[in-house]
Amino acid sequence: MIENQEYKEYKIILQKGADLNNAGAVLGWDQEVYMPPKGAFARGRQLATLASMAHELLTGNKIENLIERLRENEQLNDTEKANIRRSYEDYQRNKKLSSEFVEELSAQTSECFNAWIDARKKNDFQVFAPSLTKMVALKKQQAALYGHEGNLYDSLLDEYEPGATVAMLDKVFDGIKEQLPTILAKIKAATQVNDDFLYRQYPKEQQWDFSISVLKNMGYDFEAGRQDYSEHPFTTSFSPGDVRITTRVNERDFASLLWSTIHEGGHALYEQGLPEEQYGLPLGSATSLGIHESQSRLWENCIGRSIDFWSHFYPMLIQYFPQQFAGVTVQDFYRAANKVAPSLIRTEADEITYHFHVLIRYELEKALIAGTINVSDLPAAWNELYLKYLGITPPDDNSGILQDVHWSHGSFGYFPTYTLGSFYAAQFYAKAQQDIPSLKEKIAAGNSDELLAWLRGHIHQYGRRFNSEDLCERITGAKLDPAYFIRYIQQKYSDVYGTDLTNG
């Protein structure tokens, strides 16, 4: 079938916009990985210029007219119609922001990130506070420009998880507050897990080399990506042929590097699996951040913390660290990898208490956008919520209010997708086990190819063709159901702790 000429013109504009945004993403990756400190000012300007140019291109009259005409064109095939439908939604949203505002927001993001890095070095939130105050003001302005029917925060949530609202998420987190404390109480009453051996001396180079072996086994294509170090682990994609991840290392904490690598590897596999022929178009990008997080959480927790996974990898791990794991069995390691205990750092939290970390950030973001607390109130509010939900208090800013990079990026509305992603992951993994005969045995044998192929076929290939709820229903036959996650953790942690965690 001959491609419609107007559709060709539409593609050219969107792909040029993607080129500009991805050029900015390369500069952003460099900013977080390699850029010398004195490059910060010019880098902020460069990123702002590229963001403004892309915005002007993607909200101009030409693309508006093309999209309007293509919406009425019945000759387009289903894929083309899906791209136009999503592009219309994007255009209606993006045109509400001026190029000047986009440039200002981009420049502030660069300034805010560098202030966060400086604050981390000095372990002092007050270094970060002035830049963050400006960022919060801009995000409130952005939310107001987008418009909203309910809560102002809804506009920011919708940027990461289309359709998500405060009303919906409040119900999700109310369920967490209702169900997880009971499970945690039973775990606390059980015989506790020993994980002391995870905090021995683990040389950086060996940790790195082992993580590379794990990534290769997962199916991460090193000819289409690379791993580096950064202050906060992240994944960035410039195309399916160039998807990069970062991790961080602590030689006295074995878990810090490995599960960050597996988590980011899950994100990267999604990006590497998107259809390359749809580059720059909606169907060439991920469904939502919730679905994206489902991929990272599935690999990190359902697979990477499973006894099946370690049945294969533990003998290799002992070869890397024979002294550190002397006398430690694979069952000991599996239980240690899944120890449940309140902790300070979200990215290193167990998969049960993790959701209280997300809840805390969600509550603080709602309050910031509503104006019921100010940036200056954050450290005290943070510590109060950690004491309330986890029974612990951060001893300093780096292990508390400064631990996450997201606010420095202006990513307000992002954190709830971590919990939604965990719920989707449990539901998808349950379905994958139904569809793939002996999946757990295959993972134990070091074969994750069939799981990756299943994810490619059911999720990755579709890009944004479906919204999150419809994709979930298409795969599992049901909308998102948190009961899958509750059953998953009850079964898993009953095994880990040797006690019945089911209700009743």
User: Nearest Cα to 334, choosing from 354, 305, 312, 313?
Assistant: 305
SS3 state at 203: coil
Quick check: 1 pLDDT over 70?
no
Tokens of 197: 């051996």
d(CA 411, CA 442): 38
CA distances from 478 to 337, 401, 431, 432, 475 (A): 31, 37, 11, 14, 8
Question: Residue 394: CB partners within 8 Å, gap ≥ 6?
Answer: 344, 382, 383, 386, 400, 401
H runs (alpha helix) in 147-275: 152-160, 166-189, 204-218, 254-272
- What integer pLDDT is reported at residue 46 of this predicted model? 95
- What integer pLDDT is reported at residue 101 of this predicted model? 95
Look up tokens 């994980």; give the residue: 195
pLDDT per position as a tens digit, 81-99:
999 999 999 999 999 999 9
The torsion angle over the Cα atoms of residues 43, 236, 208 and 112, rounded to 10 degrees, is 40
- What integer pLDDT is reported at residue 141 of this predicted model? 96
DSSP 235: E
Is 286 within 8 Å of 269 (Cβ atoms)?
no
- What integer pLDDT is reported at residue 389 of this predicted model? 95
The count of residues in the chain is 504
Which neighbouring-strand residues pair with 239?
242
CA distances from 467 to 94, 295, 350 (A): 19, 16, 29
CB atoms within 10 A of CB 322: 9
Which neighbouring-strand residues pair with 244?
226, 236
User: Nearest Cα to 106, choosing from 45, 27, 150?
Assistant: 45
Quick check: 438 pLDDT over 90?
yes
Question: For 453-477, what is the mean pLDDT?
Answer: 97
Residue type, 269: L
Strands in 297-453 per DSSP E: none
SS3 state at 313: helix
Look up tokens 């079964």; give the residue: 491
More confident residue, 191 or 348: 191
**Phi, psi torsion values for 11, nearest 5 degrees:** -60, -45
Mean pLDDT, the chain, rounded, equals: 95
Quick check: 23 pLDDT over 60?
yes
Question: For 253-268, what is the mean pLDDT?
Answer: 96
Model confidence band, residue 2 (pLDDT cutoffs 50, 70, 90): low
Quick check: 112 pLDDT over 70?
yes
d(CA 453, CA 54): 34
Quick check: 504 pLDDT over 60?
no
Q: Of the residues 264, 293, 300, 365, which is catalytic?
A: 264
**Phi, psi torsion values for 377, nearest 5 degrees:** -85, -15
Tokens of 244: 């990069």
- What integer pLDDT is reported at residue 150 of this predicted model? 80
Model confidence band, residue 348 (pLDDT cutoffs 50, 70, 90): confident
Quick check: 499 pLDDT over 60?
yes
- What integer pLDDT is reported at residue 360 of this predicted model? 97
Is 469 annotated in the active site?
no
Tokens of 416: 């709830």
Question: Residue 5: CB partners within 8 Å, gap ≥ 6?
Answer: none
- What integer pLDDT is reported at residue 503 of this predicted model? 67
Is 372 within 8 Å of 153 (Cβ atoms)?
no
d(CA 375, CA 343): 24
pLDDT per position as a tens digit, 299-317:
999 999 999 999 999 999 9
d(CA 222, CA 466): 29
Q: Work out the percent of the chain whose per-residue pLDDT is above 70.
A: 99
d(CA 314, CA 331): 10
CA distances from 237 to 22, 222, 348 (A): 8, 13, 24
Quick check: 450 pLDDT over 90?
yes
Which neighbouring-strand residues pair with 235?
245
pLDDT per position as a tens digit, 136-151:
999 999 999 998 778 9
d(CA 236, CA 222): 14
| Fold assignment, 166-497 | Neurolysin; domain 3 (1.10.1370)
Quick check: 38 pLDDT over 80?
yes
- What integer pLDDT is reported at residue 120 of this predicted model? 96
The residues spanned by each domain of the chain are 5-147, 166-497
Model confidence band, residue 388 (pLDDT cutoffs 50, 70, 90): very high
Quick check: 402 pLDDT over 70?
yes
Model confidence band, residue 347 (pLDDT cutoffs 50, 70, 90): confident
Is 4 within 8 Å of 12 (Cβ atoms)?
no
d(CA 484, CA 302): 12
Q: Work out the percent of the chain whose per-residue pLDDT is above 90.
A: 96
Quick check: 9 pLDDT over 60?
yes
Quick check: 231 pLDDT over 90?
no
Which neighbouring-strand residues pair with 229?
247
Question: For 460-483, what is the mean pLDDT?
Answer: 96
The torsion angle over the Cα atoms of residues 219, 454, 288 and 106, rounded to 10 degrees, is 20
- What integer pLDDT is reported at residue 331 of this predicted model? 97
SS3 state at 231: coil
Question: Residue 304: CB partners within 8 Å, gap ≥ 6?
Answer: 214, 258, 259, 262, 263
Question: For 491-497, what is the mean pLDDT?
Answer: 95
- What integer pLDDT is reported at residue 502 of this predicted model? 84
H runs (alpha helix) in 190-221: 204-218
